[in-house]
Amino acid sequence: MLSKLNLDKVFQDFSTQKILIIGDVMIDNYLWGKVKRISPEAPVPVISDLIEEKRLGGASNVALNIKAMGAIPILCSVIGNDSKGKDFLKLLKEENLSDMGIILDNARITTQKTRIISNNQHLLRVDEEIDTEISQVSEDKLISFIREVINKKSVQSVLFQDYDKGVITQRLIEEIVKMANAAKIPVLVDPKKRNFLSYKKVSLFKPNFKELKEGLKADVDKSDLKDVASLLEEFRKIQSIKTIMLTLSEHGIIVNYKNSYHHFTAEVRDITDVSGAGDTVISLAALCLGAKLNPLQTAALANLAGGQVCEKPGVVPVNKEQLLIEAKAYSV
């Protein structure tokens, strides 16, 4: 799929792009420590020698992946006007990411996911969040900013990164998709359950298998690729979606478009942590669509990138240089 591409030029072209990212942002907080004994109070491990590390998560991890590939992300979201919100803005600044599209809302808290990890093993996660929809005031501010960006036609793709935390609303989806389609800018979606059926007339829709089953209330087996592909084809036509790219974890990726499907097997890797792999896949897909790659070329690169980040603990962005090397080896 990649053999016909000048991969050096494609990767250089990525650096000329701007990608508009709309979605739920959060802080990924890590507590790294050592487990030396089991608690006498309950059969649970006791962790000590803790080191705390905060990273950008959710839609902001997509921004990090876009940046890691040399492109410019324009991040749009709503956070709380709270201490964690200040931490989030500080993390953006440290990563040289703009906060122009970040709306502060006094009625919300900033989402934080705290993961406790020992010896690269994920022991526990604690979520602090509000998942109700944003207020109309915040929604209006967000739509107004996005409209200004799209009207300038300075972005190559628009990406919805939906985590069901309330930033993405039905009205926001409808208005932004209409704007982007009028401007002939590709729209990509990484969906969750709440808005699954709300995304229509988009360029690329990328659920994982769990999201597909929940969103469509479908009883299908992941290993029955023909059955899965048939379900995708039906859904794609109903929603007027150009391409569906379904991630199947250890079974790879299925791409459905133009009444056909293609299956990409997962690369053999030493899997450490699958957190954030979906963010990486959709990020590469957005850049590939912006570079006018076809759906199969897009899926091949995205599949490689998603596998790469699973080899590292925690949520981390893709490594551009490593991905280029892997893509060249894959295309031989």
Residues catalogued as catalytic: 279
Concatenating the DSSP letter of every residue in 66-125 gives: HHHTT-EEEEEEEEESSHHHHHHHHHHHHTT---TEEEEETT----EEEEEEETTEEEEE
User: What is the identity of the amino acid at 81?
Assistant: N
Please count the helices (runs of H) and the strands (runs of E) in the chain: 10, 13
In terms of DSSP bridges, do strands 45-58 and 25-38 run parallel, antiparallel, or are they unpaired?
A: antiparallel
Q: Are the C-beta atoms of 97 and 103 separated by less than 8 Å?
A: no
Please state, in angstroms and as integers, the Cα–Cα distance from residue 110 to each residue in 26, 79, 227, 239, following that order: 7, 5, 40, 32
Which candidate, 53, 51, 66, places its Cα nearest to that of 96?
A: 66
Beta-strand (E) ranges in the chain? 18-23, 25-38, 45-58, 72-80, 101-105, 112-118, 121-128, 157-161, 187-190, 204-205, 243-247, 253-257, 260-264
Closest CA to 27 of 163, 214, 147: 163
Nearest-angstrom CA–CA distance, 59 and 284? 14
H/E run at residue 229: helix 225-239
Length of the chain: 332
